[in-house]
Amino acid sequence: MAPDGGHAGKDWGVERESYLDPVTGVRVTELATVGTSDNLYFHVSNFTADNRYVLVSSTRTGQRQFYRAQVETGGLVQLTADPSDNLRGLLPDHTNACSAFVMRGADVIALDIVDFTEREIGTIPGPHVGGFQQPSLSGDGYVQFHTGRTREAVAIIDLLGLPPLRW
């Protein structure tokens, strides 16, 4: 649990603020305004497969955790509260709008972003050289690659042999 009581599933309400960009005149809408908020990673879509949520990280609890912001209403709900989660390691599943993957050390966790259940789907075998970074998912949604180095190579977890990641 985070220092201020934040936990997976905590509803933080709506913080949405909008303004017109003074240079372009385009409306900008901020979905998370407390603490420092950030996108997932520059090459990863922050949107769920159904475009219902935007996934972000924020320091609102005193430590960086992941949140979902509902696009239509701006409602913000905390997804994680584990201090060992990789701060750049959340990946929306483009084949399942309710699912995202998070790196927790060498473990890959499947997270249901609606009911907040978690399932460990694999562990990158050691020895580990360097840290684990942003995972990515293949086009068919079955193979996950990780840029964390293990034995000086990129690790691959084959999800085909696992039970389906359909919640």
- Tokens matching residue 3: 């220092």
Q: What are phi and psi of 160, to 5 degrees?
A: -65, -35
Question: Residue 66: CB partners within 8 Å, gap ≥ 6?
Answer: 55, 56, 57, 78, 79, 80, 85, 90, 100, 102
Residue 164 burial class via C-beta count within 10 angstroms: exposed 0-12, middle 13-18, buried 19 and up = exposed
pLDDT one digit per residue (tens) for the chain, 167 residues: 444 556 899 999 998 888 899 999 999 888 877 766 666 655 677 889 999 999 988 888 888 889 999 999 989 999 998 888 876 678 888 888 999 988 888 888 889 999 999 998 888 777 666 666 667 777 766 556 555 554 444 555 555 455 544 43
Give the Cα separation of 109 and 117 in Å (integer).
10
Q: Count other Cβ atoms within 10 Å, centred on residue 138.
A: 14
pTM > 0.95 = no
CATH number for the domain whose boundaries are 11-161: 2.130.10.10
